[in-house]
Amino acid sequence: MDWHLLGLSFVTVFLSELGDKSQLAAIALGGSSKSLRAVFLGTAAALLLASFLGVVLGEGVAQLLPMRWVKALAAIGFAVMAVRLLWSGGDADSPLALENDPE
Amino acid sequence: MPQLVNHSSSSSVLPAHVEPPLSTLDPVIGSSESLSNDVATHYASETLMTATDPVASPASPQDSSLSHSQRFEIFLSTFFTIFLAELGDKTQVTTLLMTAESHAPWIVFAGAGAALVLTSFLGVWVGCWLAKRIAPRMLETLAGAMLLGISALLLWDVIQL
């Protein structure tokens, strides 16, 4: 077991992820969603799968997928969640919305 | 947990009466409202009781007040947006380069994976910490603005590619 490599990859990824957009998303979703566990599991699973693909496929991932469309799709996803949060007033059926009294 | 199944069936009937937590504090509460509250407490188990609690509900997000499908929807929307956003991102490039250099993919993945689980835990924990200190309305606005900002960052990536 190469502990040096393990520690190195841990520290490198930890520092590069700290304050990155996925962590900001986790803060925003964790604060505004009603199920912390679902947000944590979703975030962790997504990040694990993304780095797993990075390890397994190597540089192939950039060639396999049209990165522009992938990023655009993610941008649309975040925008939709933002709009649902900002315009959710009174619509407490939305699972992403906090319970707020309609005024 | 067997009681969750029980709850999800009752929540589909009752949410309209249970949702506004502040209305239970309202002094000019209607008699029909309090009647429906009685009905709610009659039908509901302790999970719905906590949902009507005016103090606990807005301050601390509660897993117990959600059905399985709602939680799964939150999981899926979180998973897919973050997964798509992270594909080809600098963390993935870092792990890829370290794997290529060391030829020990599983050790790199173990280190990177532990770091990613920790950063996402910290993120959710900070969000939860903020949720207890900021008014729900304000928090939703801030969270929405943050998500819009992330969306803009990703669109900027699209233009740069």
Question: In which band, very low, low, confident or very high, does the pLDDT at B2 lie, cut at 50, 70 and 90?
Answer: very low
pLDDT over 60 at B76, yes or no: yes
Q: Distance of CA A75 to CAs B85, B99, B161, Å?
A: 8, 29, 14
**Residue in A14, A30, A42 nearest the CB of B127:** A30
Mutate to test the interface with A, among B83, B98, B99, B117 (most CBs of A within 10 A): B83
B101 lies within 8 A of chain A by CB: no
Angle, to 10 degrees, between the axis of helix A21-32 and the axis of helix A36-57? 160
Q: Please report the residues numbered 19 through 38 in chain A whose beta carbons come closer than 8 angstroms to any beta carbon of chain B.
A: 20-38
The C-alpha atoms of residue A100 and residue B98 are separated, in whole angstroms, by 47
ipTM: 0.78
pLDDT attached to residue B145: 93
pLDDT in tens, B103-146: 888 898 999 999 999 999 999 999 999 999 988 888 899 999 99
Question: In which band, very low, low, confident or very high, does the pLDDT at B96 lie, cut at 50, 70 and 90?
Answer: confident
3-state secondary structure of B102: helix
Mutate to test the interface with B, among A2, A4, A20, A61 (most CBs of B within 10 A): A20
pLDDT attached to residue A59: 58
Low-confidence ranges of chain A (pLDDT < 70): 58-63, 89-103
A64 lies within 8 A of chain B by CB: no
Mutate to test the interface with A, among B55, B77, B153 (most CBs of A within 10 A): B77
- Whole-prediction pTM value? 0.66
pLDDT over 60 at B18, yes or no: no
B89 lies within 8 A of chain A by CB: yes
**Residue in B76, B100, B141 nearest the CB of A58:** B100
pLDDT in tens, A30-58: 988 888 899 999 999 999 998 888 787 76
A2 lies within 8 A of chain B by CB: yes
Closest C-alpha to B81, from B93, B73, B70: B73
Tokens (6 digits) for B128:
């939860």
Q: Do A25 and B150 touch (CB under 8 A)?
A: yes
Q: Do B147 and A82 touch (CB under 8 A)?
A: yes
The C-alpha atoms of residue A71 and residue B89 are separated, in whole angstroms, by 10
* Chain Cα centroid distance, residue B27: 32
